Amino acid sequence: MPTVYDCSVIELQRIHSLSGNITPVYGGENIPFEIARVYYLYDIPGGETRGGHAHKELQQLIVAASGSFDVLLDDGINRKVVNLNRPYFGLYLPRRIWRELLNFSSGGICLVLASEVYTESDYYRDYDAFVRDARALREEA
Ligand code: TYD
């Protein structure tokens, strides 16, 4: 069972030029999963909160492609907050981590690389159900 301590900030490659920078990401190489889907959150009102769920199998890399926001991580026992504010840092989330994205700067863009296509049945949207299963799985392990 993953814990919040398995959620790591990965420094991504930066190809620098005076006319702007590029950050390439290769699934299975720069991040520990193959990329099945890319999506991004934008037009988020300043100070807004997103997320508020966990996934049974999905792994993700979360990047502040523009602006900044905080990610609250919770494995059912421990909590941790990570601030993302540079497009060359990605926060890796293994499966079964509850996350909330908070304090978006206005104009902030959250880019997400995901290991699976969208499947609603992979979500925990109820925090208490997530905590109950996380603790039961931890006891089994
Ligand atoms: P959700 O993952 O709950 O968004 P957030 O974590 O940013 O608050 O998704 C919000 C809605 O968008 C929900 O109805 C499902 C839909 N959705 C898709 O249809 N495809 C996707 O790839 C994603 C991420 C969400």
Summarised one tens digit per residue, pLDDT across range 71-121 is 999 999 999 999 999 999 999 999 999 999 999 999 999 999 999 999 999
**Ligand 1 nearest-atom number relative to CA 99:** 6
Tokens of 84: 């993302």
Tell me the average pLDDT across 6-35. 98
Please give the model's pTM, rounded to 2 decimal places. Answer: 0.97
Could you give the CA distance from residue 66 to residue 90 in angstroms, rounded to a whole number? 12
**Ligand 1 nearest-atom number relative to CA 120:** 15
Could you give the CA distance from residue 23 to residue 89 in angstroms, rounded to a whole number? 10
Please tell me the predicted confidence (pLDDT) of residue 105.
Answer: 95
How many whole angstroms from 126 Cα to the centroid of ligand 1?
15
Tell me: pLDDT of 141 over 90.
Answer: no
* Catalytic residue list: 53
Q: Strands (DSSP E) along 46-97, which ranges?
A: 50-55, 60-66, 69-74, 79-84, 89-93
Pocket flag, ligand 1, residue 87 (CB < 6 Å)? no
